[in-house]
Amino acid sequence: MGAPCWVDTWQPDPQGAKEFYGGLFGWTFDEPIQVPGFEGGYCLARLDGRSVGGVGQAPPGSPAGWLTHIRVGDAGKASALAEQAGGRQLGAIGAGTRSQLVADSSGVLFGLRQAGVNDGVELADQPNSWAMSSLHTPDLGKAQEFYRALFNWELTSPPDAPFSLWLLEDQLVAVVTPTDGVTVPPHWSVNFGVTDADRTADRAVALGGGIVMAPMDTPGFRSAVISDPWGGVVAVSAVTEQTGTPPARA
């Protein structure tokens, strides 16, 4: 409870996105579920039969992007609390009130996913699955106040590191990196583990995507940032040595 639990991508061309990410990560997809607000349905992505995320139709005129969802006890109450903490309520995702879209105090979008059946990915922290989400924010102090009020997250900064860590009851739940808000716009980025970052980046280009940040080495990882053909951006990281340092962030 109170930790990121799900990721999905909203796309102007969901079928094309399934072909891209299926080719990139080896995912398969369930038949579309008819969900209000997702024209054409919403598909679960799977790796080795276990869910790793979802693909849905982006609202008309909206760009492609990835969304991180955080597990809560009551999505409606958490959404109201987000507004009290300086964010915004943006409405339900799909049918009912179990998933809510909100913006934090700097306008960064994320989802609230009510605890219950099918409320989180079934596979993570493995190659070709979700490894970490990272907040890029122009105001670290404001972000600290907001996410502490909403989820009781505490911020800690490793010595000489360009990022900080979000902890919940002493467990790492996310990463936060300062941004000027222009060069890197405020956003929650999504990072997928891979076995070979260079090969994955090359594969993204071959499938019609692009490279936002060429593969580079960071302590314990080789990472790249790639884009899909519709502008959705993800980071990919391959472990190069055993380390407690989180992967590079998009």
With bands split at pLDDT 50, 70 and 90, how would you rate the model's confidence at 249? very low
User: Residue 62: how many CB atoms within 10 A of its CB?
Assistant: 11
Q: Which one, of 61, 26, 236, 85, lies nearest residue 110 by Cα?
A: 85
Mean pLDDT score, 196-206: 98
With bands split at pLDDT 50, 70 and 90, how would you rate the model's confidence at 248? very low
Rg of the chain over Cα atoms, rounded to whole angstroms, equals 17
> Token match 């499938």: residue?
207
Say if residues 129 and 192 touch (Cβ distance below 8 Å): yes
Please tell me the predicted confidence (pLDDT) of residue 245.
Answer: 47
| pLDDT > 70 in the chain, percent | 93
Residues 157 and 55: their CA atoms lie apart, in Å, by: 34
Q: Could you tell me where the DSSP H helices lie in the chain? A: 14-25, 75-84, 140-151, 197-206
Name the burial class of residue 241, with classes exposed (0-12), middle (13-18) and buried (19+) by CB atoms within 10 angstroms of its CB: exposed
Mean pLDDT score, 120-147: 96
Residues 244 and 26: their CA atoms lie apart, in Å, by: 27
Tens of pLDDT along 85-118? 999 999 988 766 689 999 999 999 999 999 987 7
Give the relative orientation of helices 75-84 and 140-151 as an angle to the nearest 10 degrees: 150
Could you give the domains of the chain? 4-114 (3.10.180.10), 129-239 (3.10.180.10)
With bands split at pLDDT 50, 70 and 90, how would you rate the model's confidence at 41? confident
3-class secondary structure, 21: helix
Mean pLDDT score, 43-68: 93
Q: Where are the beta strands (DSSP E) in the chain?
A: 4-11, 28-29, 33-35, 38-47, 50-57, 65-72, 88-92, 99-103, 109-114, 129-137, 154-156, 164-168, 171-178, 187-193, 210-218, 221-227, 233-239
Q: Is the pLDDT of residue 242 over 70?
A: no
In degrees rounded to 5, what are phi and psi of residue 13? -135, 80
Residue 200 one-letter amino acid: T
Q: Write down the mean pLDDT value for the chain.
A: 91
Residues 218 and 239: their CA atoms lie apart, in Å, by: 10
With bands split at pLDDT 50, 70 and 90, how would you rate the model's confidence at 181? confident
With bands split at pLDDT 50, 70 and 90, how would you rate the model's confidence at 24? very high
- Contacts of range 226-230, beta carbons closer than 8 Å, 24 or more positions apart: 226/200, 226/201, 228/9, 228/11, 228/17, 228/20, 228/21, 228/64, 228/204, 229/16, 229/20, 230/11, 230/12, 230/13, 230/16, 230/17, 230/63, 230/64
